[in-house]
Amino acid sequence: MGLHPLEFSECYLDCPAFREKIKAHEAELDKTGRFIKELYKDGKNLINATKQLSLAQKKFAQCLGEFKFEYIGDAKTDDEKCIDESLQEFSSFLRNLEDQRDLMMRNITETLMKPLEKFRKEHLGSAKAERKRYEKETEKYYSSLEKLLNMSAKKKEPQLQEADMSVEAMRQHFQESSLEYVCKLQEIQERKKFECVEPMLAFFQTVFTFYHQGYELAKDFDHYKKALQINIQNTRSRFEGTRSEVYELMKRIKESPQEYRQTSPISSEGYLYVQEKRPPPFGSSWVKRYCTLVKEQKILHMKTFDQRSGGKLGETESVTIKSCIRKTTDTLDRRFCLDIEITDRPITVLTVQALSEDDHRFWMHAMGGKEPVRQTFTSASNIDAQLDDVGISFVKNAINAIETRGINDQGLYRVVGVSSKVQKLLSLMIDEKSSGIDLAASEDWDVKTITSALKLYLRSLPEPLMTYELYKEFIVPAKRFVAESRVQAIHCLVHKLPERNRLVLSLVTKHLSSQNALGVGAVADPSEMKREKPNIFGDAPSSSPSLAATPLSAPTRQSKRLSRQNRPLAVYNPQVLDIQTVSPSSESPALVNDETSVSSNESVSSQSSNASGTPPMKSKNHHATISTSLPENTGICTATASWMNSASPASVTPVKPGSVGTEKNKPEECVTLMKAKAVYPCEAEHDSELSFQVGAIFHDVTLSREPGWLEGVLEGKRGLIPENYVQIL
């Protein structure tokens, strides 16, 4: 059912049914307003899209009109002339069609868009204004009515009469507004029937007119279209007749290209990549150029040309060639390269790269190139590397180049350079005449060659950085459990080094540890060295702490693990023990002879000590010192531990090498067996270790072959004991 009619009489009753009718009419007008607004928006989009289409069509027509075919030969055939003129005809047809489209768009704007927008703004807009005025009068009337009804009856009569008159005036205004609003709603409901439909009829009439104009243009173009089709067919037929001949010629050229290659006795042409050096820190770049060599004058013309960038031709540069030498890969890590000596540029040598081996031979022949003169360099064993100012300058130069150009490279010090290039670089850098090369800015030496040259320099020094004299002293701190003790000892030893050694060691340590150049720890305990580096290489220590074993301190779980990390997972082997007895008044220990035999399993210290053949000196109170020796090639010095033994010589149980107090093998050597008491609890991490609690008593305790570890018996089981977890009784 449609909308209910609005009666003027209902304006005075203002009943709920009347209000519902008004709401229904208002909702219908709102829907009509939204429809017109959406239709106007879509019409705008249609007009804009049509304008864009028209612009594209005009641009297309312009492109057709401006293009002209270029034909092979001096004159055109009749068919070719007709085909060439066809583009002009197409362009003219499209321009005429788009003129009609522009006219249609102007008519649509005037006949459809403007009338719809006018109805929406003027009539629907005025209805909204009347609605607001009606709602405002409604609010004012009913508010004043409520106030009147709430007035006290005890007020004076003049006041009551004045209030009655005020409410009556508001009631009249409200009823008048209601009548006007109902009239406006009825008017717009009737007006929209023709105000909306009439513009749509005009729109379709405009569209039909445009299509009719297009039809007339197509009729006029029909005669030309038929003539053009004949010209196109003739041209196609000639193409089919000549294509087979062209393919046959191409096939013959493919089979023997050398017969058809264009050569000239005057010049040689082709592509070369030219190295262009730039100021630091930009290095150098390789630019592709098309080069033409005039053979008689030996002038090389170079044009910048790259097919990938659209074939844009750059400026031409010409140089005069003096000589040409093949460049080896020892000096430049690129193949097919030539060094061209030129006479008319600030840079006297121009490095170029050919495209292939054949191309390389072609340019060598064209330029009269020669092979390079082979140079012999000093072998690594004969390099005169010295720790002087030139050598230190090379170390700084190399480290700066590595950290500038390749500190993030994978396998930085693991990947080695070419031996000949490494030796050549080092020979240049330790020569005062040629040591001024800035490796960080030079592209002639890659990073792996620089790292290998730095390693070769350090290996070739007459004496290691940490010196032979202090070598064993540097080993001792590495066996300590307490990090602070190790750092203090290394600090003192570093400042015993000569000044140049300490400087280079500081540079290398900083380079390897701070940048982690090796990918693994390169310096002894790098985590500590990195943390304590300013202290170690800074000011000299005030006093030199003793490098002997430090007093026992509260052990940590980490110290026990550290002492166990690098030892072999093996049980007690007493054959590597040496026994020394030291007199309290003696300055040097006298060693015990082994009356059995000196086997290949005996330690280095045992062999060297027994060589004198001096029998041991025994006394009632003596020190028993047991030393563990490691093979010389490990570079680790002997670790010793000593303690005071209060037992008499008679109480010492001799043990034969190969067993510890067993009944089968009777002892023939004196070994001090002690007791020890656990001062800290420990849980075994390996089958060869003992677990124990505080207060546990160990028997038959001896020093293990592993520094920082003892061996003893607990509850019938023999195993390893951390030395700093127990106290000798």
Stretch 388-410: mean pLDDT:
88
Mean pLDDT of 94-117: 89
Which pLDDT band, with edges at 50, 70 and 90, does 8 fall under? confident
Q: Check: CB of residue 712 under 8 Å from CB of residue 699.
A: yes
pLDDT value of position 81: 80
pLDDT above 60: residue 652? no
Burial grade of 15 (CB within 10 A; 0-12, 13-18, 19 or more)? exposed
How is the chain split into domains, by residue range? 11-138+189-247, 263-367, 399-513, 676-728
The CA-based angle 180-185-186, given to 5 degrees, is 100
Return the pLDDT at 263.
67
Residue 200, token pair as written in the block? 């749509």
**Whether pLDDT at 92 is above 70:** yes
pLDDT at 629 over 80: no
| pTM listed for this prediction | 0.32
- Mean pLDDT to the nearest integer, 186-206: 87
The alpha carbon torsion through 482, 484, 486, 488 (nearest 10 deg) reads: -150
pLDDT value, residue 299: 92
CATH number of 263-367: 2.30.29.30
Band (pLDDT 50/70/90 cuts) for residue 498 is: very high
Nearest alpha carbon to residue 577 among 615, 640, 626: 626
pLDDT tens per residue, range 285-333: 899 999 999 988 999 999 987 666 555 667 888 999 999 999 888 778 8
**Mean predicted lDDT score pLDDT of the chain:** 75
Average pLDDT on 232-251 reads 87
Give CA–CA dist 619/586, Å, rounded.
11
The pLDDT, as a whole number, for residue 515 is: 53
Task: Please work out, in degrees rounded to the nearest 5, the angle formed at the alpha carbon of residue 180 by the alpha carbons of 177 and 182.
Answer: 110
- Residue 457 pLDDT exceeds 70: yes
Q: Among residues 181, 196, 217, which one has the least CA distance to residue 117? A: 196
- Do residues 524 and 510 lie in contact, with contact meaning Cβ atoms separated by under 8 Å? no
CB distance 708 to 563 below 8 Å: yes
Please choose, from the candidates 693, 688, 695, 694, the residue with its C-alpha nearest in 3D space to the C-alpha of residue 712: 688
Q: In 257-386, where does DSSP find H-type helix? A: 357-367
DSSP state letter for 594: -
Highest mean pLDDT pick, 341-355, 391-405, 413-427:
391-405
d(CA 394, CA 435): 8
CA atoms of 403 and 523, how far apart (whole Å): 18
Query: CA dist 557 to 481, 562, 681, 704, 706, Å?
Result: 11, 9, 10, 19, 18
Q: What is the dihedral of CA 238, 241, 242, 245, to 10 degrees?
A: 180
pLDDT in the model for residue 408: 80
Strand, helix or coil for residue 522: coil
Residues in a beta bridge with 627: 578, 640
Fold for the domain defined by 676-728: SH3 type barrels. (2.30.30)
Query: Which residue do the tokens 């609003």 mark?
Result: 181
As beta bridge partners, residue 698 has 676
Angle between helices 499-514 and 389-405 (to 10 degrees): 10
Paired tokens of 10: 């209902």
Confidence of residue 45 (pLDDT cuts 50, 70, 90): very high
Structural fold of domain 11-138+189-247: Substrate Binding Domain Of Dnak; Chain:A; Domain 2 (1.20.1270)
What is residue 444's predicted lDDT score, i.e. its pLDDT? 84
Instruction: Write the Ramachandran bin of 283: left for phi over 0, alpha for psi from -120 to 50, otherwise beta.
Output: left
137-141, 318-322, 638-642, 661-665: segment of lowest average pLDDT? 638-642
pLDDT of residue 588: 33
* DSSP reduced 3-state for 696: coil
Spatial distance between the Cα atoms of 716 and 713, rounded to a whole number of angstroms? 6
Q: Which amino acid is at 300?
A: L
Q: Confirm or reject CATH 3.40.50.12780 for domain 399-513, answering yes or no.
A: no
Q: Is a pLDDT exceeding 70 seen at residue 527?
A: no
Give residue-wise pLDDT tens across range 334-378: 899 999 998 877 778 889 999 998 889 889 988 998 988 754 444
